[in-house]
Amino acid sequence: MQTSIPCVLMRGGTSKGPFFLASDLPSDPAVRDRVLLAAMGSPDDRQIDGVGGADPLTSKVAIIGPPTRGDCDVDYLFAQVVVTEAVVDVSPNCGNMLAGVGGFAIEHGLIQAEEGETVVRIHMVNSGDRAIARILTPGKEVEYEGDVRIDGVPGTSAPIMIDVEDTAGSFCGALFPTDHLVDFIDGIQCTLMDNGMPVVAMRAVDLNRTGYETRDELNADTELKNRIESIRLQAGFLMNLGDVTDMVTPKMFLLAEPKAGGAICTRSFIPKVAHASVGVLAAVTIATACAIPGTTADGLAKLPDGNRKMVLLEHPTGDFAVEIELSGAPTAPTIERAALLRTARKLFEGNILIPGRVWDGKNVAPEAATR
């Protein structure tokens, strides 16, 4: 016998994966993780026995439930299902999958749609932070069609504007968890930051790379990946994350001067595979690094004038825009706000089937999406 679980397959930003109601999943986190591994088909490099897409960007899960914060409308727990390992990591957020949360919540009755536009206040359970998503709802129905294009996604869709709030130190306790703008790890200058996503930012040239390599070139560069993984493991302890061997954080970035009119050129790893684009909350952290003198982005980034800046991060398949607002002295600015433009689309809805030996469908979760 197989166990049938309702789900919706959605694209959120440049990521994709199943969205579940928390109440449809097991209450025991360990059993839940086994369910997610079975659903996605991990561990297997093709994920042939599940719905995963054999790539970190398409092996993601969103779990949605009623809010456990009084100032939010829904809870959103993100799970990164590792493709080739039996690992489900709920330590990071995912701002791309975040783009699908509002529409899913409206269509599942967790929040009532308003005419024209619906504001959805989202509790990001992984970090405890809040995001505000604005969903187009003409006729009180979620609109997926539109003319907005984001790099890394073919075609166009309806715009979703997302504000992220109070994300500094979400995971590491401080924007700069070591109290340094730059630390040296294995002789490489690294900026260790957390503005919604723990990030290690390095200048590509310090690793004898240009920072303009293609994703395939980076994935084939075993020597580089080994060096980056060594740095990541050490950075985990320095950033108050502990042993990150089985975690997908911190995210690792190579930085270079922009060459296509953006603010900075990026190449990122999640954490051992080169990213086709850039993660949303990691992009917020890198944009923050670009605005603060003394980080590894200093001297590479080309930023527009003014306290409100549109920071374009170049990546292997285009660019990613982060709007930031600054206050304070230019030599030590404070990030007051970060906003992102994303899109999402519902791809399939129905039931996912997993072997009954993994879970028999009993002992479902309470309504809240807890870690």
The tens digit of pLDDT for each residue in 83-113 reads: 999 999 999 999 999 999 999 999 999 999 9
Of the listed ranges 74-88, 177-191, 316-330, the least confidently predicted one is: 316-330
* pLDDT recorded at residue 366: 63
Same domain? 212 vs 192: yes
| Cα–Cα distance for residue pair 83/64, rounded to 1 Å | 22
Q: In which band, very low, low, confident or very high, does the pLDDT at 363 lie, cut at 50, 70 and 90?
A: confident
Q: Cα 265 to the chain's mean position, in Å?
A: 18
Which residue type occupies 35?
V
Q: Could you give the C-alpha distances from 52 to 129, 216, 270, in angstroms and in order? A: 27, 20, 16
**Alpha carbons 198 and 285: distance in angstroms, whole number:** 8
| Whether residue 71 sits in one domain with residue 191 | no
Q: Are residues 52 and 137 in the same domain?
A: yes
* Predicted confidence band of residue 332 (pLDDT cuts 50, 70, 90): confident
Note if the bond before 67 is cis, omega within 30 degrees: no
Q: Which two tokens stand for residue 110?
A: 């967790």
119 neighbors 84 (Cβ within 8 angstroms): no
**Core vs surface per residue 67-92: b (16+ CB within 10 A) or e:** bebeebbbbbbbbbbbbeeebbbbbb
Instruction: Report residue 271's pLDDT band, with 50, 70 and 90 as the boundaries.
Output: confident
- Domain co-membership, 145 together with 194: no
pLDDT, one tens digit per residue, over 208-241 is 999 999 999 999 999 999 999 999 999 999 999 9
pLDDT at 192 over 80: yes
Range of the domain at 334: 183-341
364 pLDDT band (50/70/90 cuts)? confident
pTM exceeds 0.75, yes or no: yes
Query: Domains in the chain: how many in total?
Result: 2
Higher confidence at residue 364 or residue 192? 192
